[in-house]
Amino acid sequence: MGAGKSTVLDDLKGDERFFGYSFYDLDSEIAKKFNVDISVLGDLIAQKGFEWFRAVELEVFQDILRLEEKVWIALGGGSLSNPEFFKLAKSIKGYWLNTDFETCLNRMQGDQNRPLASLSKDKLKELYIDRIVTYEIFDVFPYCIAK
């Protein structure tokens, strides 16, 4: 959460090195599936739970991979916590945005659309450390963007 995945994806869209690719933000695609604004996803997760969300996330990810060959997908911060999603993600080329915790925290604070943003700093740091182990299956993203 807050690593900059969606922002980087938007930047790649205009880069001529990536012409011919399709670009998806997984959270945006989930919102489209339910015909809601992305700002409502947090409310849906609160109502239906993270287990429901992870199942939908996997389904949408699989749908994109079935339709597209040359694709960039910004995954959710916890997407890889679903073992089935993790297994599928390991089978494709992926990158990790290795963003430090304080930067992620600053980007998340006060964001009502992020259900986990209300956790304490200590809990968020614990989650961040737990997820790094998972993210390390991917190479660190090599594309530099001055922001």
CATH of residue 86's domain is 3.40.50.300
* Residue 29 confidence class, pLDDT cut points 50, 70, 90: very high
pTM: 0.81
The phi and psi torsions of 23 (rounded to 5 degrees) equal -130, 135
Predicted confidence at residue 147, as pLDDT, reads: 44
Range of the domain at 76: 5-140
Which distant-in-sequence residues (6+ apart) come within 8 Å of 65 by Cβ? 71, 88, 92
Do the domain assignments include residue 147? no
Which distant-in-sequence residues (6+ apart) come within 8 Å of 138 by Cβ? 94, 95, 96
Number of folded domains in the chain? 1
Pairwise CA distance, residues 95 & 143, whole Å: 10
Which distant-in-sequence residues (6+ apart) come within 8 Å of 47 by Cβ? none
pLDDT single digits (tens) 91-111: 888 888 888 899 988 988 877
Pairwise CA distance, residues 26 & 58, whole Å: 10
